[in-house]
Chain A
Amino acid sequence: MASSQPKLTAINSGIDVKTTFPTARVKRIMQADEDIGKVAIATPTAVTMALQLFITSLVLIGAAEAHESGTNKITVDHLKQGISNTTQFDFLHDLVNNTKDD
């Protein structure tokens, strides 16, 4: 693992992520918001792509924090720490700060 890299992101990790995502579920989550009207066919797929990148980033951030604290198990605390250190994830602050630690 490239632990010497200061910042490993989903894009530059060189990892090929080909998991199947339930695009229909993504579409339902999108449309759970009443303000969202119609979506073009390609749109849930575009969102799914972004999601894979996002989840990958989050996992990598959690792993980096866990590694920093000398453990190989990622906990909620590690995620909280990583999220507060990443401006890209500011929008998650409230969500994770209301999450119980494990």
Chain B
Amino acid sequence: MVDEQEKLLPIANVGRIMKLILPPSAKISKEAKQTIQECASEFISFVTGEASDKCHKENRKTVNGDDICWALSSLGFDDYAEAIVRYLHKYREHESERANYKQQTSKARNVTGRHDHEDKAEGDDDDDDEEGLCHTDSQRGKGTTSTCRRHPAPLEFRIIDRNETSPS
């Protein structure tokens, strides 16, 4: 039996977003917060279901980021889709930098590297949390044969770009 709370996002996240975007004098009732929490889960199911249907129709087993973007557009959330497409682009660049880094460090160590299955499979939940939103600038890979232990910088993504305005 799945705990009811497990089907919902932590309510603290709703409160936190509120604090960030509304003036300090704004308040929200507990029930309204809970309603938003439920709407969030509904949104996840709604978008994921649409993305999953597309995969089934195309005989694919794995739902990927592009499917989510497609689903968002298809369901009337074009503006979200654009932002996420940009993120996925950065994510893939970041991933290939990481892959290069791993290749270089394993060469440097003269180890027959074990291959990390990074993409297109059900991964560990633990990894996901670390790959989420990070706060520092990503840099282009320097491509040096490195004995230096510098890890590629974590990926930064600002969902809402101050410099851009939505066309609508």
Interface residues of A (CB under 8 A from B): 1, 9-30, 32-33, 35-56, 58-60, 62-63, 66, 72-76, 78-79, 87-88, 91-92, 95-96, 99-102
Contacts and interface: CB of A to CB of B under 8 A. Distances in A.
B68 A46 contact: yes
Nearest to B165: A12
B13 A95 contact: no
Interface in B63-78: 63-65, 67-69, 72, 75-77
Q: Is the interface of A mostly helix, strand, loop or mixed?
A: helix
Interface in B41-88: 41-49, 52, 55-56, 61-65, 67-69, 72, 75-77, 79-80, 83-84, 87-88
Main SS class of interface, B? helix
A63 B22 contact: yes
A52 B159 contact: yes
B49 A33 contact: yes
A56 B18 CA distance: 8
10 closest residue pairs by CB, A with B = A102-B31, A24-B125, A40-B64, A73-B27, A23-B128, A46-B65, A74-B28, A11-B166, A38-B62, A46-B68
A102 B16 contact: no
A79 B32 contact: yes
A39 B159 contact: no
B29 A102 contact: yes
Interface of B: 2, 6-10, 13-14, 16-18, 20-23, 25-32, 35-36, 38-49, 52, 55-56, 61-65, 67-69, 72, 75-77, 79-80, 83-84, 87-88, 91, 118-123, 125-129, 131-133, 135, 157-160, 162, 164-166
A27 B128 contact: yes
Contacts of B62: 37-40
Contact of A47 (B47, B79, B123, B160): B47
A7 to B, nearest CB: 9
A99 B166 CA distance: 32
A46 B38 contact: no
A54 B43 contact: yes
B62 to A, nearest CB: 4
A18 to B, nearest CB: 6
